[in-house]
Amino acid sequence: MEENKHLDEEVDLRELTSVLWRGRYFIIILTIISFAAGSLYLRNADLKYNVSILLAPTNQEETQANFGNFGNLAALAGISLPSSNHSDLIKFELMLKTRELSSQIFEDKNLIRELFSGEWNDQEQLFIEPKTTLKTAIKNNIRVVLTGKQPKEYLSPNPARLSEFIKRRIRITRNKNTQFISMSAESSNPELYQRLIMNMIYTTDALIKKSFMSQSKDAVSFYQNKISKARSKEHREILAALIAKEEKKLLLASREGPFVVEILTGPNISLQPTSPKISITLLLSIVLGFFFSSGILLIRNFLNKNH
């Protein structure tokens, strides 16, 4: 029985090979058509480029670690030690996606018009709802059938929409070891996204600097008041170190330039398109053409045999 089974498998394999060989010209023609379709898609597709920038923390000294065993003593004395600049980096990373930042960026009307160019009407000088495409109409109908919910009404660009736009389009990651922050995006208009990312960096840094400036003077006054009442030498040393740290950071915030992060590399725009992948798209079109044409031949052969 095993010999018969092995013989049947050889016969089936020979038959399949024979079917494909007899229809080789059909396979070649359909594969060429598929390759041409892939090439046509690449000609009409928007080539996207990658924009990237790497941010490093500014040369702020860490404060918590420098106090050594004084930390517990300061806690007992009711003195709060400032944390390291890692907290500022975490705050910086979080603020990049907040609506507060989007509200500031939204003031740049030229940038907003370019980001939502598909909705901007030059004649009326306002945003209008874009025409529904066939693809969008199909998606909306499928959504209605599956969820029973109608599409949301059109909402013109505002800080809330800009915040969602940033979350979808801008990739933000922070390396926990180096504390470097990486920002990147992929677009057919890389210069526009470069402007957006740079605007996000400068605006976020300015917001954190402004917040610190408003709080730092109160902190220095609080420590100076504490040092005048301190009785032990250890307390006075801690408070003096705190005042020095705060004043140093206040001086850094007062000068022009970056406060929390500085640009380490970039912004860089990739030399070659990152999407769609030309070689992968063409190879995939050849493979799909071959398998699709082969499938047609095998199905036709199967139907003819049964008939």
Between the CA of residue 265 and those of 56, 182, 184, 193, 274, what are the distances in Å?
A: 9, 10, 12, 16, 19
Per-range mean pLDDT, top range of 7-21, 104-118, 149-163, 219-233: 104-118
Give the strand pairing for 261-269 and 49-57.
antiparallel
Is there a contact between 113 and 121 (Cβ–Cβ < 8 Å)? no
- Could you tell me the two tokens for 119? 């909705």
Please provide the average confidence, as pLDDT, over all residues in the chain. Answer: 80
Higher pLDDT pick, 158 / 244:
158
% of the chain beyond a pLDDT of 90: 35
Higher pLDDT pick, 252 / 154:
154
Number of DSSP helices (H) and strands (E) in the chain, helices first: 11, 6
Q: At 194, is the pLDDT very low, low, confident or very high (cuts 50, 70, 90)?
A: very high
Give the strand pairing for 171-174 and 181-187.
antiparallel
Q: Which amino acid is at 287?
A: V
What fold, for 49-116+157-275? Bacterial polysaccharide co-polymerase-like (3.30.1890)
Higher pLDDT pick, 105 / 150:
105
Q: What are the extents of the domains in the chain?
A: 1-45+276-307, 49-116+157-275, 128-156
Tokens 């500014």 -> residue = 58
Q: At 84, is the pLDDT very low, low, confident or very high (cuts 50, 70, 90)?
A: very low
Quick one: pLDDT at residue 253?
Answer: 67
Sign, CA torsion 274/278/283/284 = positive
Q: Which amino acid is at 47?
A: L
Q: At 10, is the pLDDT very low, low, confident or very high (cuts 50, 70, 90)?
A: low
- Could you tell me the two tokens for 234? 């250890």
Quick one: pLDDT at residue 2?
Answer: 52
CA dist., res. 237 & res. 78, Å (int): 15
Q: Which long-range contacts (CB under 8 A, 24 or more apart) does 125-130 make?
A: 126/156, 127/156, 127/157, 129/154
CA dist., res. 225 & res. 221, Å (int): 6
Instruction: Kindly report whether the peptide bond that precedes residue 82 is cis, defined as omega within 30 degrees of 0.
Output: no
CA dist., res. 290 & res. 84, Å (int): 60
Q: Which amino acid is at 100?
A: E
Whether pTM exceeds 0.85:
no
Q: pLDDT for 222-247, tens place per residue?
A: 676 667 666 667 777 777 777 777 77
- Nearest-5° angle of CA 95, CA 96, CA 101? 75
| Diameter over CA atoms, the chain | 105
Is there a contact between 246 and 216 (Cβ–Cβ < 8 Å)? yes
- Nearest-5° angle of CA 192, CA 197, CA 184? 95
Quick one: pLDDT at residue 50?
Answer: 95
Say which range, 99-103, 130-134, 160-164, has the weakest mean pLDDT: 130-134
